[in-house]
Amino acid sequence: MLQIGKFNTLNVVKQVPFGFYLDGGDDGEVLFPTKFAGADLKIGDQCQVFVYHDSDGRLTATTQTPLAEVDECAFLKVVSVNNVGAFLEWGVDKDILVPYSEQDFPMAEGVSYVVFVYFDDETGKVAASTRLRDFLFEEGEHFAEKQAVELLICGRSDMGYKAVINGSHLGLIFKDEVFKPLRIGQRTTGFIKRVREDNKIDLCFQFHDDNARKDLAEQIIDDLEAHGGISTLTDKSSADEISKRFNVSKNVYKKTLGALYKQKRILLDKNKVTLIK
């Protein structure tokens, strides 16, 4: 069965002056333009090609690699906007449409967005959507705590950053867990921090168990000793400053400072941390 919006292995059934036709089964023949066909291609050969509808609505094959296939998310740039929606650069000769009904907010030319590429059963064509929650799962009961996952940063909220998990789920990275610059469209690795009682997914970039906190505590003490027993990197410092010095989140750093304070190994005030000798 032909999979429109994905790569297919198809047989060459006809040669014409402008290329070849491939066997698309029940969907009919698929045009394979000369510019993509190899010089030695002949009837009966098999081709690994990406299939989509061209600007004239014809099923077309290409050896170009799209930036996303059907059922995948990608960070794509708007190249034009008209009365039917926004068109995004797709990596093939035809741009992909985000209809107005699939836009969470008006899309602007020249701006890139994280979208989900889907096959529209009503039109029989491939389209894209910024309404990720309509296509991805938000409940993650099958994920395990501390499980490593691939993330695509897809949005911001008052609480932190939203991310696509392994291309199939949506999760949240709370602001306190962010210790390095993030941008929309960035792909990175992370971890399942927890699956909440409502099965929504919280994410993080590192775990700090008791042993890891002990290691960080000793790093802080070593840093204080190297700077004469005083540091201006307090629990009020920015997450960026903390990340540059210790490569941990502000939340983890604050908890470790608190533990050192309770152990009477340091003194804390608004402007400095002092080592107790």
Q: Give the model confidence (pLDDT) of 233-249 as tens digits.
A: 988 888 888 878 887 87
Q: What average pLDDT score do residues 72-100 get?
A: 97
Classify residue 2: in a domain, yes or no: no
**Do 216 and 195 fall into the same domain?**
no
Residue 225 above 90 pLDDT?
A: no
Classify residue 139: in a domain, yes or no: no
Q: What is the DSSP letter of 41?
A: -
- The backbone region for 52, taken as left when phi is positive above 0, alpha when psi lies in -120 to 50, beta otherwise, is beta
Give the least confident one: 22-31, 175-184, 259-268. 175-184
Q: How high is the pLDDT of residue 31?
A: 96
Domain final residue pick, 15, 35, 62 = 62
Label residue 210 by pLDDT band (50, 70, 90).
low
Q: Tally the residues of the chain.
A: 277
Structure tokens at 249: 């989140």
Classify residue 171: in a domain, yes or no: yes
Give the least confident one: 7-21, 134-148, 200-214, 244-258. 200-214
- DSSP, collapsed to helix, strand or coil, labels residue 43 as coil
Q: How high is the pLDDT of residue 148?
A: 92
Domain final residue pick, 89, 106, 133 = 133
Q: How high is the pLDDT of residue 241?
A: 85
- In the chain, the number of structural domains is 4
- DSSP, collapsed to helix, strand or coil, labels residue 29 as strand
Neighbours of 96 (CB within 10 A): 25
Residue 208 above 80 pLDDT?
A: no
Classify residue 80: in a domain, yes or no: yes
Classify residue 103: in a domain, yes or no: yes
Q: How high is the pLDDT of residue 186?
A: 97
Classify residue 141: in a domain, yes or no: no
Classify residue 193: in a domain, yes or no: yes
Q: Which domain holds residue 260?
A: 210-275
**Do 125 and 77 fall into the same domain?**
yes
- Residue 147 to residue 169: CA distance in whole angstroms: 14
State the CATH number of the domain containing residue 232. 1.10.10.10
Summarised one tens digit per residue, pLDDT across range 60-79 is 999 999 999 999 999 999 99
Q: How high is the pLDDT of residue 93?
A: 93
Classify residue 68: in a domain, yes or no: no
Domain final residue pick, 107, 133, 159 = 133
pTM over 0.85: no
State the CATH number of the domain containing residue 186. 2.40.50.140
Neighbours of 259 (CB within 10 A): 17
